[in-house]
Amino acid sequence: MFLLPGLIIAMYISSTPVPESWRIEITRYLCNFANPVDGGWGVHTHHKSTAYGTVMNYVVLRLLGMDPEHAVAVKARKKIHELGGAIGVPHWGKFWLSALGIYEWEGLNPIPPELWYQKSSFRLAWCLQAGCFPTGFLFTLTNGGFTSVTCTSLCLTSSAAVSPTP
């Protein structure tokens, strides 16, 4: 629930096709673990619905081809509105949304790939490197933060993944 959005979004950004069997099973998995009451997702399978879990898993379902009018998508969008939209998603989620072109890069602290070139005595702890350096690489794939807008990103933006409508 926490790492799955990063995998699917990275595959989308890098134009790596998602195998059909993965698409089917990931969709089934997310549909089965959606909160039956409010339609959202938590960070983990049995966690209460959060902005991160709901927005990111909604984006995954849409990237995998779920129709925006599918019952699961409609319920998730309603929960996204209740949670205040993607503005409530923590930095990690905003990075993924920015990489897709549905959240502004200006809302994030920069993640320059040049951190790889630092002397070992100045490097970040290994646990920070594991997350920061790969995101720096993906940042470069988006033309240094200038992501091209695609039909998919426009559809996700307009379906309230970024902010709720009044």
CATH number at residue 70: 1.50.10.20
Asked if residue 140 belongs to a domain, the reply is: yes
CA dist., res. 146 & res. 137, Å (int) = 14
pLDDT for position 142: 64
Does residue 38 fall inside a structural domain?
yes
Domain count, the chain: 1
Residue 16 inside a domain? The answer is yes
List, for residues 123-157, the tens digit of each pLDDT value.
Answer: 555 555 555 666 666 766 665 544 444 555 555 65
| Separation between Cα atoms, residue 111 and residue 34, nearest integer Å | 32
Radius of gyration of the chain (CA): 16
The boundaries of the domain holding residue 23 are 4-161
166 domain-assigned? no
Given a contact cutoff of 8 angstroms between Cβ atoms, the answer to whether 9 and 99 are in contact is yes
Asked whether residue 133 is assigned to any structural domain, the reply reads: yes
How would DSSP label each residue in 22-87? HHHHHHHHHHHHS-TTTS---SSTTSPP-HHHHHHHHHHHHHTT--TTSHHHHHHHHHHHHTTGGG
Instruction: Give the residue-averaged pLDDT of 88-95.
Output: 86
Q: Is residue 107 a part of any domain in this protein?
A: yes
pLDDT digit string (tens) for 4-44? 998 999 898 888 999 999 999 999 999 999 999 999 999 88
pLDDT band at 164 (very low <50, low <70, confident <90, very high): very low
Query: Which residues lie closer than 8 Å to 138 by C-beta, 6 or more apart?
Result: 10, 13, 14, 99
Sign of CA dihedral 43, 63, 151, 14: positive
Q: Report the chain's mean pLDDT, rounded to a whole number.
A: 79
pLDDT the model gives residue 155: 58
Q: How many CB atoms lie within 10 A of CB 20?
A: 8
Average pLDDT score over residue span 44-48 = 88
Position 160 scores a pLDDT of 43
More confidently predicted of 135 and 82: 82
27 domain residue, yes or no: yes
Average pLDDT over residues 99-111: 77
Give the tokens for residue 42.
């938590």
Helix, strand or coil, per DSSP, at residue 102: coil
pLDDT value of position 73: 96
- For the chain, the maximum distance between any two Cα atoms, rounded to a whole number of angstroms, is 52
- The amino acid occupying position 71 is A
Is residue 113 included in any domain, yes or no?
yes
Q: Take residue 69 and report the two structure tokens written for it.
A: 């009018």
